[in-house]
Amino acid sequence: MIEVVATPSETTLVLAGDLDVAERDAFPEVRARVAGMRHGRLVVDMCGVTFMDSTGAAFLISLADAGKERCSETVLRGAGERDLFVLSVCGVLDLFVIQADCDVEGHTPNR
């Protein structure tokens, strides 16, 4: 599941379940919606993500790259150690602000 929630100051992308090749058809539309919102900050809430493959990592990287072009920050909230390791191996962890805690707004991690 992918849900986009916008407030006046930021856009939150709430992800749940597997972020993998099976979801890739949804990625272009989500990227376009997020890019069109033009907020200064994108929060990618990964508290509900149970698995991420390289397709999901590429999606996150594309979001961060687009944000960087707009001079906005991309926050990863609740990314698991495995997810952070994948992004680290890709050499892109510095594109993200890491917020480890899922306790924001009552979220609890799924893993």
Q: What is the DSSP string of 90-107?
A: TT-GGGEEEE----GGG-
Instruction: Label residue 106 by pLDDT band (50, 70, 90).
Output: very low
pTM comes to 0.86
Q: Which amino acid is located at 66 in the chain? A: A
Segment 76-91, tens digit of pLDDT: 999 999 999 999 999 9
In the chain, the N- to C-terminal Cα span, in Å, equals: 16
Give the pLDDT confidence score for residue 67 in this predicted structure: 87
